[in-house]
Amino acid sequence: MGKELKNEFSWSKSRHDTFHECHRKYFFQYYGSWGGWNRDASPRARELYVLKNLDSRFTWAGRRVHSCIESILKQLKTGGELPAEAVTVEGLLQQMREDFKQSRAGAYRQNPKKACGFFEHEYEAEVPNDEWKRIAEKSAACVRAFYASPLLEKIRKLPEEDWLEIEEFSGFVLDGLRVFVQLDFAFKENDHICIYDWKTGKPDAQQNEIQLACYVLYAVDKWKISPELVSATALYLPDGTEIQGRIDAERLETMKEFIRESAEEMLFPLADPQNNVPDEEDVFEFADDPRACKRCNFLKVCPKWQ
């Protein structure tokens, strides 16, 4: 028997965002669904785990584009040839067709971690076929834009020793707190480190600021480099817009304080913060904004709407 997994507290940008969107959703996501993958899980934990793993059609599209670019980069890193654009795009679309079939058939309820499941199917939302086609076409356009980008040409010329990370789930420790990040791509360029984050939506500088700063913080910690020598860039594939985050040592300290304060907020409702044990569920309040509820995976189990 393998070692039992322990639900340990950590910090990430996505966890911070969930907490500030709705405290009850945060409870469902990080505590109520815990262990829902086990065969002997309670029906409630299993249901929350299934709902937790649902994608909206927008997050699904972004995830598939990321996976496609990851595959391209890993092939190049190992010395392989750049896959033909048409072959790559057709592979993406075929995978998206398969995902759609799986979700529509409800396969995710038997295997929520491996089978794709859509919020729209779980909640029987009326989405026209043309909308699904538009999402797929936009995803294909994002991959084509990556092929046409000057960045890809630069990547193809990189020596193997300058490749750093591709979609690795990584982290660092800040005052004993584990902070998680996932860099889409990082490489060395002379004495600099360049980090890229692929985006498939509309440019949003404010949303990117914290995420990109976390990437710089991670790079400084892992590669022992001055923050002035690290650039983190959000590359918006639909139109080629780049939003770059550079931070100096002073901004670095501000970012650390932001993470500390955010973690303290999330630990406050817990009955046992040291062991990451929550108090009763109803300590976690509902979101005030009903718009957040309409797109929440946990809508059907939330007491606010039952």
Residue-wise pLDDT tens digits, 204-257: 767 788 899 999 999 999 999 999 999 999 999 999 989 887 788 888 899 999
User: How many whole angstroms separate alpha carbon 257 and alpha carbon 55?
Assistant: 32
- Please say whether the beta carbons of 140 and 89 come within 8 A: yes
Is 60 exceeded by the pLDDT of residue 41?
yes
pLDDT in tens, 115-169: 999 999 999 999 999 999 999 999 999 999 999 999 999 999 999 999 999 999 9
Give the pLDDT band (50/70/90) at residue 306.
confident
Q: What is the dihedral of CA 47, 53, 56, 200, to 10 degrees?
A: 170
Give the pLDDT band (50/70/90) at residue 295.
very high
User: How many whole angstroms separate alpha carbon 23 and alpha carbon 231?
Assistant: 33
DSSP letter, residue 112 = T
pLDDT of residue 224: 95
pLDDT in tens, 251-278: 889 999 999 999 999 999 999 999 999 9
Q: Is the pTM of this model over 0.85?
A: yes
Structural domains of the chain, with CATH = 53-148 (no CATH), 156-247 (3.90.320.10)
Burial class of 190 by CB neighbour count within 10 A (0 to 12, 13 to 18, 19+): exposed
Is 60 exceeded by the pLDDT of residue 285?
yes
pLDDT of residue 2: 53
User: How many whole angstroms separate alpha carbon 42 and alpha carbon 21?
Assistant: 26
Residue 305 tokens, joined: 């709407």
pLDDT of residue 1: 47
pLDDT of residue 3: 67
User: How many whole angstroms separate alpha carbon 136 and alpha carbon 139?
Assistant: 5
Residue 265 tokens, joined: 């907020």
CA distances from 124 to 6, 102, 120 (A): 35, 15, 6
pLDDT in tens, 89-113: 999 999 999 999 999 999 999 999 8
Higher-confidence residue: 256 or 306?
A: 256
Q: Give the helix ranges, DSSP H, for the chain.
A: 13-21, 23-27, 43-52, 57-77, 85-104, 119-122, 129-148, 150-156, 205-223, 249-267, 290-294
Share of the chain above pLDDT 90, in %: 85
